[in-house]
Amino acid sequence: MTTPAAVTFAPFEPDALASATGVVAAFVPEDSKLDQGARRLNRLTKGAVARATESEAWGKLKPGETLTLGYPAGIEASAVVLVRLERKSDFETAMAAGAALAAARGDRPLTLIAGSHGAALDIALGAALRGYDFTDHKTGDEAKPAAKITVLCARPDELTAAWPDRAAQAEGVFLTRDLVNEPANVLTTTEFAMRLEALRDLGVEVEVLEEDALAELGMRCLLAVGQGSRSPSKVVVMRWTGGGDEAPLALIGKGVVFDTGGISLKPAAGMEDMTMDMGGAGTVAGAMHAIARRKAKANVVGLVGLVENMPDGNATRPGDVVASMKGDTVEIINTDAEGRLVLCDVMWYAQDRFQPKAMIDLATLTGAIIIGLGNDNAGVFSNDDALADAFLSAAKAENEGAWRMPLGKSYDKLLKSRVADMKNVGGRPAGSITAAQFLQRFVKDGTPWIHLDIAGVASIEKGTQLSPAGATGWGVRALDRLVRDAYENG
Ligand code: BES
Ligand code: MN
Ligand code: ZN
């Protein structure tokens, strides 16, 4: 697993500054007034800091942007990075500053002169999140040790105590990114299940249901998706029980390790991107990691359906009719609309077995959501306004884009089948909504539910502020925050 930077907090010692190696960073507000630490750095570098902040280039910086001074005299460090940042800055700007520092640092250790800056933890989290690189399959580069970030601050004990919750989030995000970036020949259903079993080390109970058990349970929709693959279909159940006897929050993930479309084969161009079609399951894994790592006082159960959608002599055909675990039958018009077939059985099983307080499913479900919302927002579908609002505010607080989408009877009608209880596609109009309607048919009355269509946000071509190109880990922080804000009971 890619490990986030090791962040430590230490008291500000002027003498330690001169001998710090790597990059030393200081924050300077718009009025260019240097705080105690920056003044010290200025003195050591014989006025280089002040010269820089009086320069024209400095005047052009936006909040959160940086200016780098290379090989300054007077100190050991190979660079000084000055960050334009007010003493009171919002979460987004502080995270942006951290991300800019991660870029400026490269592979070098980073010493942050944070003093009593109010956003020191957010800055450190931004730096940790942006410091991700997926290099497992690059030969030649030696595996780099985890980066070191030292935060020199006024109250190191306080920040040291508060950091582990943030570190848990960063680890969860990195786990999700690693899983989503992994190619499908490496991350088979079997390998995926093994990596989830590693969550046992954090106290998560992990159970792997194999094909015979799934057949016994009647999960024929899920099995129909995987039957053309050499990789066996699996459902993995991850239970974190930090909340006593309360009914759990259930997180359900689509884990299609590769989606060729099946017999309704996808076109060749861009098919390689379908290695990320397990993004929902990857996000559930990352969220479970974060929740367990910080020992959340809540009950959360994560269930993922792991399958591979391949064309083969044994693959499901368009027109096949299969029964779901619920009992409703589905006419599979298009084998490429496979995610909903996986989810419907896992969702039913989750409700049947755990009677969850609420259920949230995550899936790279439709290309249509990318047309609608692009790469900045996941689609949020819900039967419960209070739950939807709680999730939307958690996502907003973590600065993860999420946008509510509608559900409704007239969309549901589009799923009518001539031969079965429903068909698995509703045609091109409102493609993301009809997919959500399909799922809603498997939500029991009285279960508050959210469906998150993350096809546009799970993996992206261009890097964002907090993540390089590829897997983003979107949703791990929002779910972790939702659990903290709405489900913890202590
Ligand atoms: N995994 C895809 C959705 C997807 C597309 C994810 C692009 C990420 C990027 C899903 O299984 C799929 O193929 N959906 C079809 C549904 C259609 C056949 C009704 C789609 O969106 O085209
Ligand atoms: Mn598909
Ligand atoms: Zn898919």
CA 387 to each of CA 239, 359, 392, 394, 483: distance values in angstroms, whole numbers, following the listed order = 21, 10, 9, 11, 12
Tens digit of each residue's pLDDT (9 = 90 or more) over 230-288: 999 999 999 999 999 999 999 999 999 999 999 999 999 999 999 999 999 999 999 99
Catalytic (active site) residue 297: no
Residue nearest to atom 22 of ligand 1 (CA): 367
User: Which residue in the block uniquely carries the two structure tokens 């409703």?
Assistant: 328
Of 163, 161, 154, residue with least CA distance to 124: 163
Q: What is the CA radius of gyration of the chain?
A: 24
260 lines ligand 1 (CB under 6 A): no
Name the closest ligand to CA 426.
Answer: 1
Ligand 1 centroid–CA 431 distance in Å is 9
The answer to whether the Cα torsion of 64, 65, 68, 74 is positive or negative is negative
With a pLDDT cut of 70, the percent of the chain lying above it is 99
Query: Which of 266, 295, 444, 484 does the annotation list as catalytic?
Result: 266
First to last CA, the chain: 31
As a whole number of angstroms, the distance between CA 278 and CA 273 comes to 11
DSSP 249-307: EEEEEEEEEEE--TTSPPPSTTGGGGGGTTHHHHHHHHHHHHHHHTT-SSEEEEEEEEE
Name the closest ligand to CA 435.
Answer: 1
431 lines ligand 1 (CB under 6 A): yes
Q: Which two tokens stand for residue 30?
A: 């718009």
Of 361, 400, 389, 380, residue with least CA distance to 478: 400
What is the structure's pLDDT at 220? 98
Kindly report the backbone phi and psi dihedral angles of residue 423, in degrees, each rounded to the nearest multiple of 5, phi listed first: -110, 165
Residue 64: burial class (beta carbons within 10 Å; 0-12, 13-18, 19+):
buried
334 lines ligand 1 (CB under 6 A): yes
364 lines ligand 1 (CB under 6 A): yes
Atom of ligand 1 at shortest range from CA of 428: 19
Does the predicted TM-score (pTM) go above 0.95? yes
pLDDT surpassing 70 at residue 490: no
Counting Cα atoms < 13 Å in the Cβ hemisphere of 36 gives: 11
Answer whether 243's CB lies under 8 Å from 235's CB. Answer: no
What is the structure's pLDDT at 141? 67
Regarding beta strands 234-241 and 205-209, do their DSSP bridges make them parallel or antiparallel, or are they unpaired?
antiparallel
338 lines ligand 1 (CB under 6 A): yes
Domain coordinates in residue numbering, the chain = 7-154, 171-487
Ligand 1 centroid–CA 277 distance in Å is 9
As a whole number of angstroms, the distance between CA 162 and CA 172 comes to 17
Kindly report the backbone phi and psi dihedral angles of residue 122, in degrees, each rounded to the nearest multiple of 5, phi listed first: -65, -40
Fill in the amino acid letter for 469: A
Tens digit of each residue's pLDDT (9 = 90 or more) over 303-336: 999 999 999 999 999 999 999 999 999 999 999 9
As a whole number of angstroms, the distance between CA 372 and CA 343 comes to 22
Catalytic (active site) residue 326: no
As a whole number of angstroms, the distance between CA 263 and CA 280 comes to 23
CATH class of domain segment(s) 171-487: alpha beta
In this prediction, residue 14 has a pLDDT band, given cuts at 50, 70 and 90, of confident
Mean pLDDT of the 78-82 span: 97
368 lines ligand 1 (CB under 6 A): yes
Q: Which two tokens stand for residue 45?
A: 């570098």
Tell me which CATH code domain 7-154 carries: 3.40.220.10
Residue nearest to atom 17 of ligand 1 (CA): 337
